[in-house]
Amino acid sequence: MRFLMTAAAAAFALGLAACTQGTNEEAGEAADTAAEQAATGETNLGQGPMEEAGEQADETKEGATGLGDTQQPATPPATTP
């Protein structure tokens, strides 16, 4: 029983970690919600185009910052005195 509880807690924690949104995705979601409210007066909980674009921007930003990158930065050229 203890093993089952531990496994369920671990699965829950991994699920939460996978669901985090970056700042661009959150901003896109807010923009989609505002546009939906203005146009129809309702909110669609699905991903809209701005949220999708924000998610892609967050993924690009993560890749550009070198997260998971194993390359070493280039060394500057040697200077002569």
pLDDT for res 4: 63
Per-residue pLDDT band at 72 (split at 50, 70, 90): low
36 vs 55: CA distance, rounded Å = 19
- 6-38 pLDDT per residue, tens: 766 666 655 545 567 788 888 888 888 888 888
Task: Give the contacts of 42 (CB within 8 A, at least 6 positions apart).
Answer: 36
Q: What's the CA angle centered on 39, arms 56 and 27, to 5 degrees? A: 30
In this prediction the pTM is 0.49
Q: Which pair of tokens denotes residue 77?
A: 């050229």
